[in-house]
Structure 1
Amino acid sequence: MNIANILELQAFRLPEKKAAIFGEDAYTYSSLNAQANKIANALKALGIERGDRVAMWLPNRPEFLTCFYGILKVGAVALPMNILYKSREMKFLLSNSESKAIIALEEGLETLRRIRSDLPLLEKVIIIGQEKEYDDAISFREIVEASSDKFLSVDLNPDDTATILYTSGTTGNPKGAMLTHRNLLMNAEYYATGLEATEDWVGICVLPLSHLLSLAAGVLVLFGRGASMHVIKKFTAEDAAQIISRHKVNYTFAVRTVYTLFLALPDEPRFDLTSLEICILSGAVTPLELRKAVEEKFGCKTIQAYGQVESSPVISLDRVDMKRKFESVGYPLPHIQVKIVDDDDRTLPANEHGEISCKGHCVMKGYWNNPEGTRAAIKDGWLHTGDIGMLDEEGYLYIFDRKKDMIICGGYNIYPIELEELLYENSKVLEAAVVGVPDEKMGEIPKAFIVLKPGKTADGQEILSYVEDRLAKYKKLRAVEFLDALPKGPTGKILRRELR
């Protein structure tokens, strides 16, 4: 079993069908597969073998897809990385994952040069750019042009790791969730079946391809059916809406922020979104009013999906062939068991609130090089999601809150502890706590509450700039409030709920 087999199948079955469209440039299944074969041969010639980790620090462009499949074809593990990451984040992820190679744009070369001396296991830096030679890196263009477009994917064990995606927990150390070929293929198949997807579908990807929702609900679902997908290089609601209107796109998958922006567009023919039929809402529970507004304006069906990186990602879905319950996040996918447990891990009856746990093909293999984190997350095969929810008498799942403190801002996951650790590095900060506060446009935004050291002074803009200069833009603080003291419980633990 190899995820890349699906691309090979479609290249044989539908060679001239448009698979991915980037603006005016369309790539057929046969051309994508041929380019992925070239990359696979190039990687093999560089010594990349089964199980090696290969990082991809790429934006939404064709090479993301061909590199993803090329890496999988040789049996290696793909590590998609957000293009917005800065040196601090890149250094940790490349070190922790023990990546053997990275594929990046020329613009990222200086960042990689600054951190490479701290990454002894990073043997190959492959750069996509105009040059055919680099003093300290390998030219992607040169090695691909020199490679054959014929390659047969390595046959893998279904439980071999396909990708590692980094998430985080309350410890603050990012953890690499290992998702297997079985995880991703089965999840995408049951997801597509629940949506009744066909090869006639035309989808649009408005999120970064490095986002698991884009890979799962986009690439794997649409390519698995032999359908077509438009990819937005850099999202604006205006550009996305015009593509939807012009190309009669019928399927979207996005976070609620995107749909809020669509609704705000003027009623003009170029922004006609009535071709939409299925609109996936993910990332956080969507307000009922927003779902109804989207359905009324565009004449589509909104589908609420629920899951997380560790569940590959979908646990439950509003399946189109089942009764709809707007307040719920749908029904568990086939062969996924869901139960609600209390703090002592005892199963709770219907309609009682507790932590959502799931078991089945969706559960990750574990956290990379983190057995302690794996044991905490997976107990007797059950993944503990950290989310609070309930099941009703008919088995529909509802989610109410996140047991974890993660902030979902415009579809991006932001972990307070990462921001707090950075704030504590500031010589003026005595104590800091970051929480998510409601925002109409972004869903939530991160706000910091700070206690300064005696005799120190700072203003909000100074703190905002300090964080923005050191982390990816989407993680930046949006608000700062200075306090004399943070609220704490009897054990000294900061009471975040009193800050929200």
Structure 2
Amino acid sequence: MIAADLLASDFATLPDLIRAHAAERGGKIALASDAGALDYAGLDRLMDRIAAALHRDGVAQGQAVAIVAASSIEYAAVFLGALRAGCVAAPLAPSATAESLVAMIADCGAPIVFLDEDAAATLGGREIGAKTVLLTALEAWLAPEGATPTPVTIAPEDGFNIIYSSGTTGTPKGIVQSHAMRWAHIHRNASAGFGDAVTMIATPLYSNTTLVSFLPTLGWGGTAVLMKKFDARGFLELAEAHRATHAMLVPVQYQRIMALPDFDSFDLSSFRFKTCTSAPFSPALKADVVARWPGLLVEYYGMTEGGGTCLLVANQFPDKLHTVGRPVEDHDIRLIDEDGNEVPQGEMGEVVGRSPAMMTGYHGRSEASAAAEWFDAEGRRYIRHGDVGRFDEDGFLTLLDRKKDLIISGGFNIYPTDLEAVLAQHPAVADCSVIGMPSEAWGETPVGFYVPHTGVDASVADILAWTNERLGRTQRLAALHAIDELPRSAIGKVLKRELRDRLAGTGA
């Protein structure tokens, strides 16, 4: 079947779409990086060799294939080859601690793990109960040239990937996303021009933020340009060299790019479509991007778990830049009160959403899956977003606060309870709490408070260093403060807003 017919169908898989693009436009570049490029025909053959090697090694359909590495052509090919084998891709954050990586590998049950050299060094030879393959030695592991895997039939409800929402030493929570969900992400981008796109991939491939741009690019037959590590000037140089048309960036990346003194000297006239998600995006920064960077700026608000998505085309609604836009077609977003009842228009409520793109559930965690759900009067399933917002009279959603205490730093999700669990292990810490504070560099950054244990001598600096040594790079505390007593409510809940107000009042 040709690619156009697949894209017009009710359901197609990404491996089948890539096969069709290879047959029709095999010489077109599919993946590019500073290390080289791979066309669709080459990608299709490489996916076959990877899938055949997985089958040779006894990896069965439905099993997870874990990948721990920085973005590269080899990484992308393994991810896609795993899908062709009927496996479930499990991309894990290389910035996580060794203990967390071991826990996530065990949680997803991957019988094979692909690593780059940095990830291998992080694991340090720990026993993970799975076969390991270094991406630098991928060629030696692959099935021979011309090898083909055993054909598999993939159903819409089959697992596509597992995205872990927590890359720390706490208990990891795997979000299972189906082929149907990913098909919805590809299919809904029919008007985004991905067919002839050159898309800058500047966020990690283990992030859902990345995949909602990366997967449609390949699904529609465009070119994905992979950055191993983001830096503002390097991004602009690469975008200019490749005549990039599309990009997905998080707010802190936009901030760093727009702050370059010579930003206006770069030729970005090829850009048509820029998107942003994952963290609060200030109205002033949106306005600056619209004014100085060619092409549309589209902000998405949604969740890795699915639920509903809002979309704001910033160029078209300059008076709505304080919002995250309106629900996209076929997405239903409601606001509910503490009792689960819908609130009237204009009132504040918890955001819940429903769409064709929703997670199957949290891997192996039925109770957590149930807690993330809300059902309307007709019994239809919604996902709780964990945010509090308000719809205006035009149907635009303004986010007011996070119901949960999730910290978003540089586009990465940080869960305070995971950091608190580490901090609490220090013998000098009797009680502790972690909050998110505004940061010019990262959007938000985690800050800790602790109540000292009587009779245990340790400085704040020593405790901070001890804690950060046990956290992943993206979760480390920016500061730590000793406090006589944590402010708590009558039922014992730590009043984190009082901690934030205390810091804001001192200017610390």
What TM-score, normalized by structure 1, do the two folds share? 0.91
Matches within 5 A, 1:78-157: 78-109=89-120, 111-112=122-123, 114-116=125-127, 119=128, 122-130=129-137, 140-144=138-142, 146=144, 148-151=146-149, 154-157=152-155
Change in 2 beyond 3 A, CA 1:54/1:24: closer
Q: Which moved more, 1:97-106 or 1:392-401?
A: 392-401
* Residues 78 and 162, structure 1, Cα contact 8 Å, conserved in 2: yes
Q: Distance in 2 between matches of 1:333 and 1:155?
A: 31
* Residues 166 and 173, structure 2, Cα contact 8 Å, conserved in 1: yes
Runs of at least 5 residues in structure 1 that lack an aligned partner in the other structure: 131-139
Q: Which moved more, 1:42-51 or 1:353-362?
A: 353-362
**What is residue 480 of structure 2 aligned with on the other side?**
480
**Deviation at residue 40 of structure 1 after TM alignment:** 0.3
* Residues 116 and 136, structure 2, Cα contact 8 Å, conserved in 1: yes
Change in 2 beyond 3 A, CA 1:460/1:238: farther
Matches within 5 A, 1:304-319: 304-311=299-306, 315-318=309-312
**What is residue 48 of structure 2 aligned with on the other side?**
37
Q: Distance in 2 between matches of 1:387 and 1:311?
A: 14
1:330 to 321, 325, 332: 325
Matches within 5 A, 1:220-369: 220-267=215-262, 271-311=266-306, 315-318=309-312, 325-369=320-364
What TM-score, normalized by structure 2, do the two folds share? 0.89
* Residues 354 and 382, structure 2, Cα contact 8 Å, conserved in 1: yes
Q: How many residues align?
A: 482
**What is residue 196 of structure 1 aligned with on the other side?**
192
**What is residue 171 of structure 2 aligned with on the other side?**
173
* Residues 69 and 119, structure 2, Cα contact 8 Å, conserved in 1: no
Q: Distance in 1 between matches of 2:266 and 2:116?
A: 33
Look up the equivalent residue of 2:294 and give its one-letter code. Answer: G
**What is residue 159 of structure 1 aligned with on the other side?**
157
Look up the equivalent residue of 1:442 and give its one-letter code. Answer: W
**Deviation at residue 101 of structure 1 after TM alignment:** 1.6
1:213 to 209, 229, 234: 209
Q: Distance in 2 between matches of 1:172 and 1:81?
A: 14
Look up the equivalent residue of 1:63 and give its one-letter code. Answer: E
Q: Deviations over 1:183-205 (max 9, x none)?
A: 11102321x23x53242222111
Q: Distance in 1 between matches of 2:315 and 2:408?
A: 30
Q: Distance in 2 between matches of 1:243 and 1:466?
A: 39
Percentage identity across paired residues of the two chains: 28
Change in 2 beyond 3 A, CA 1:498/1:6: same
**What is residue 425 of structure 2 aligned with on the other side?**
425
Q: Deviations over 1:244-265 (max 9, x none)?
A: 2222212211111111111111
* Residues 185 and 220, structure 1, Cα contact 8 Å, conserved in 2: no
Runs of at least 5 residues in structure 2 that lack an aligned partner in the other structure: 1-11, 376-380, 501-508
Q: Distance in 1 between matches of 2:143 and 2:106?
A: 30
* Residues 487 and 495, structure 1, Cα contact 8 Å, conserved in 2: yes
1:13 and 2:24 matched = yes
**Secondary structure of the structure 1 residue equivalent to 2:142:** helix
